[in-house]
Chains A and B, each alone.
Chain A
Amino acid sequence: MTEIIQKVKNLSIGFKSKKGEEILILRNITTNIKKGETVGIVGESGSGKSTLALAMMGYVKHGLYTIGGECEFNSSNLLKMKNRDLEKIRGRKIAMIPQNAGQALTPNLKIGYQIDEALQLHSDLKEEEREQKISELLNKVRLPSPETIALRYPHELSGGQQQRVAVAMALAGTPDLLLLDEPTTGLDVTTQAHVLELLNFIAKDTGTSMVYVSHDLGAIAQVSDRIIVMYSGEIVLEGPSRDILKRPIHPYTHGLLKSIPKLSLAGLPESMPGSQPQPGIIQGGCSFFDRCNFSEEKCKNNSPQLEYLKELNTRVRCFNYEKLLKESQINQNVKKIKNNSKDKEILNLSEVSISYAKQKLLDQIFNRISDDNPTVKDININIKKGETIALVGESGSGKSTILKSIAGLLRTKDGFIRFEERRNLSSDLKERDPNDLRIIQLIFQNPDESLNPNHTVEEIIAQPLKLYFGLKGKELKKNIIDLLQKVRLGEFYMSRYPRQLSGGEKQRVAVARAFAAKPDIILCDEVTSALDVSVQAAVLNLLQQLKEDFGTTYIFVSHDLAVVRAISDRVAVLYQGRLCEVGPSNHVYKFPSHPYTEVLLGAVLEPDPDIKPKLVAEDIVEERPPEKGCSFQGRCSRIVGDICKKEIPPWQLTDSGNAIRCHIPIKELQKEQF
């Protein structure tokens, strides 16, 4: 039998509400972490997964307190330990890799010092030995030139590098247990795949146990041996990774896996109704009852216990798991999206360049922007009425910049943005007339920030109706109710404030506000990124439905290639503000042809332990686009020669209608690379 290194016993953590009630964040958690294994804890925001991970280090956040139970490490309860004793365990026996390394590294201390601090605390090495060790550690996490990195400050590194530093810092104490709290969430797809690969390597190399906390089943699938699924503060399913991902026997996990869009499937996945209950609301009965497709009468009033199934080595909290056992595999049904696009062109971007360069005094006088190497350059896209076109690329690829320009928030440097072949929208927001503003609406990534917290839902939706159509009184109210119904929210939501809504509901309000203006084009900027997976599919389905009803055109920006696959008719791949490939989604995803598209698609993580990401190119971050030649030259693994460095590649058309910008001949490109 393998040794158990951390025992969590009947752990409950919560806080006191203003009324003095005890509200539970974690409810009676019991689990063991064995030596050398990697356990994935997966759950949506508010499921208590991070609180559990922190408790495993004996850390309870300000405002929360332990109600009962213990976290046993080396046969002592961490939650009852004195701070002085905890200091000897934290970093030395149990180390943490935080979610956002950019925020978790102290800004005024150099990288080298921060790692050295961990070494000083947790090892007996002398100064020269420590210096040696710092280089070794930075090497181990594959950072280039460790000596110079050690002298840098955290803000001088890219997100991926910061995350690697956090890993190096955690490894400094040679811990027995590593806790990882969403360690790749803020990173680009390619960087994420590289960091995960590194973590896998470290787990094998050092034999450290890992607890990997994430909302992302794709990432969890790549690293974990065992998975714990959490729902509103409880463990609902726990078992071997492969079984959980391939044959989940809890309805929540089952539904969750069905609602995740996959690269291999075009079309919208089924959505799960409702959302996770707020902590404190649950009384009696199963907490998943409201959203469950398999529920029975008894689920309403009796809460199921976590049951151990010996033959499967799985624990499950459901009365009806046997029903799910019979379903041998997950059948993911996707709804094919209808391509509504008409031949009519609605928006035309020709030779668009956008620059962030600060205007010098002389340029201000002549009202011009001089920048030879602008952030975004040579964008030519014709967008047809009723289509959904997606802009994809890593951070810094210029996709949001282009959206801002279309919305009028940023001036173009060169080129034209034309609406319906007539109206010129190249101008600034201030120079557009109200109708120009009405026809283009934006939906933002984070509804928490895009909805005014002091306005009710009614006021939020009323604003565009009053502004563009001058509606008043009864008619206004009728329109608001109509819009709310269209986004599947009841009339009673009118008097609510944004803080009284869940994430998915807030985004629905944002969608309703955008549609209130009866726009022709809606710009969707990472609209599902801030949402939980189970809610994401519902919002995607809603967007698709509304589009079919109103014939709206969507320009969809997302870093999530599977989401883009699900909803878009056409995809434009961008690197460093330059187009690499444009074409129908089916073709772009089936025959990735541009080397960069290959890199992007290869790095996507699927919630399937059998599909491993392919790491083609290095995940270096380039600060500026190259002055000459192909934009992707710095990272391309298929450079054909000097021509890539000197000449901008020509557009090549494939038979299926993809336009690819590369020096490699089309035939060559379409050959399978792997």
Chain B
Amino acid sequence: MLFLIIKRILLGLITLFIVSLITFVGTEILPGDACTTYLERQAFGEQLEACYRRLGLNVPAYERYISWAVNAIQGDFGYSLSGEMPIKEVLGPRIKNSLVLASAAIFIGIPIALILGIVTALWRDKLPDVAISTVTIFAMTIPEFISATLLILIIAIWLEWLPGIVIVPTDVSFLELLPNIILPVIAIAMIMTAHMARMVRSSVIQVMASEYVQMAILKGVPYWKMVFKHVLPNALLPAINVVALTIAWLLGGVVVTEVVFNYPGLGRLVIESISNRDLPTVQALAIILASIYVSINLLADLMTLMLNPRLKTLQIRK
């Protein structure tokens, strides 16, 4: 078990290294750089040279990568080129904001998804299933920029209940942020919940058709006891990985939604720093997002391992 965790962490680190390399090379081969973007038409001669020197872009690429990597390992991602402030300070509030948005969506979306999925499966082909399944398919197929825009139109513009876009400073306090996130959370949760509810539904249906559930019925186990003891633990196990991926996706910044709502989260930062050629910020973001994915997936796998007796004993035996 311990060996497995160490192996997975090592693999995760290798993944991170490759990600950093790819983003570095990627931004490097694109035409133009931070100075040409920053200086625009004045990007020539003395001024350009001075800018290169100031930003340290005059040394060869591999040297820059190595010095960046050495610092990054120590937690120092350097300075943002465009904002000219430590990246740590740029990232901090953004991460917090994204975390707020993601956790709100998770705490609302996952329980709803589970309940909807289980209800539709248990009342399969009956009215609750037909009604809910129609809605979830609908919610799944509408792209988020349309649903987000519609939400703004109806709730913010027509009804004037909530602010339509988020116009707050990046480092706003949690309480001030709260009314602003309701609409983005609804927009995100809709798609996420629909996806997960359908996954849970098919998983529960599959388990309900299994021989051990038939056996439990024939043993005389009352219906709800059967559902909670024999069906759900087995049906929800495969859902853990899907939930993990969804969480990672949420934390990584739901780019489209953040842009539509003008939300100061990680997703919008990605877009901004790419268009500003802010290489250090892009690098830092790539590493952070990749580590979120890697660690959440690792957590999910470990959880599956702990909860699935079959996998657990297999691992121990090996």
Contact = CB atoms under 8 A, between A and B. Distances in A.
Interface stretch (B194-202, B221-229, B282-290): B221-229
A117 interface: yes
B221 A104 contact: no
Nearest to A105: B212
Interface residues of A, number: 34
A173 interface: yes
Contact of A103 (B210, B218, B219, B220): B210
A98 B310 CA distance: 21
A104 B220 contact: no
Contacts of B213: 106
Given A90-B218, A104-B214, A106-B213, 14 more contacts: A59-B214, A87-B222, A91-B220, A96-B215, A100-B211, A103-B210, A103-B211, A104-B212, A106-B212, A107-B212, A107-B234, A117-B229, A153-B310, A166-B215
Contacts of A153: 309-310, 313
Interface in A96-133: 96, 98, 100, 103-109, 117-118, 121-122
Contact of B220 (A62, A92, A98, A166): A92
Contacts of B218: 54, 57, 59, 90-91, 95-96, 98
A83 interface: yes
Contact of B211 (A57, A62, A104, A121): A104
Interface string B302-318: 00000111100100000
Given A104-B214, A153-B309, A109 B220 contact: no
A449 to B, nearest CB: 19
B121 to A, nearest CB: 13
A371 interface: no
A117 B213 CA distance: 14
B36 to A, nearest CB: 47
Interface in A244-290: none
A342 to B, nearest CB: 48
Pairs of residues from A and B, 6 with the lowest C-beta to C-beta distance, nearest first: A91-B220, A90-B220, A103-B211, A104-B215, A153-B309, A91-B219
A370 B213 CA distance: 43
Given A153-B313, A156-B313, A122 B220 contact: yes
A105 B215 contact: yes
Contacts of A155: 309-310, 313
A457 B170 CA distance: 67
B209 interface: yes
Contacts of B230: 106, 109
Chain B interface mostly: helix
A542 interface: no
Nearest to A121: B220
B57 interface: no
A88 interface: yes
Contact of A89 (B220, B223, B310): B220
A169 interface: yes
A420 to B, nearest CB: 42
A107 B310 CA distance: 8
Given A90-B220, A92-B220, A117-B219, A62 B209 contact: yes
A228 B166 CA distance: 76
Interface residues of B, number: 25
B244 interface: no
19 contacts: A57-B218, A87-B220, A90-B219, A103-B212, A105-B212, A106-B212, A106-B213, A106-B216, A106-B234, A108-B309, A109-B229, A117-B229, A121-B219, A121-B220, A121-B222, A153-B309, A153-B310, A155-B309, A156-B313
B142 interface: no
Nearest to B208: A62
Contacts of A156: 313
B217 interface: yes
Interface of A: 54, 57, 59, 62, 83-84, 86-92, 95-96, 98, 100, 103-109, 117-118, 121-122, 153, 155-156, 166, 169, 173
B143 interface: no
Interface in B23-58: none
A155 B222 CA distance: 25
Contacts of A117: 219, 221, 229
A100 B211 CA distance: 8
Contacts of B234: 106-108
B254 to A, nearest CB: 34
A87 B209 contact: no
Interface in B263-292: none
B233 interface: yes
Among B211, B230, B237, chain A packs the most CB atoms within 10 A around the CB of B211
Nearest to B210: A103
Contacts of A92: 220
A57 B220 CA distance: 10
B306 to A, nearest CB: 12
A92 B218 CA distance: 10
A169 B220 contact: no
Contacts of A91: 218-221
A585 to B, nearest CB: 38
Given A107-B234, A108-B233, A59 B217 contact: yes
A109 B210 CA distance: 15
A86 B215 CA distance: 14
Interface in B233-269: 233-234, 237
A168 to B, nearest CB: 12
Contacts of B210: 103
A106 B213 CA distance: 7
A120 to B, nearest CB: 10
B317 to A, nearest CB: 10
Contacts of A103: 210-212
A84 B218 CA distance: 12
Among B219, B223, B234, B237, chain A packs the most CB atoms within 10 A around the CB of B219
A57 B219 CA distance: 10
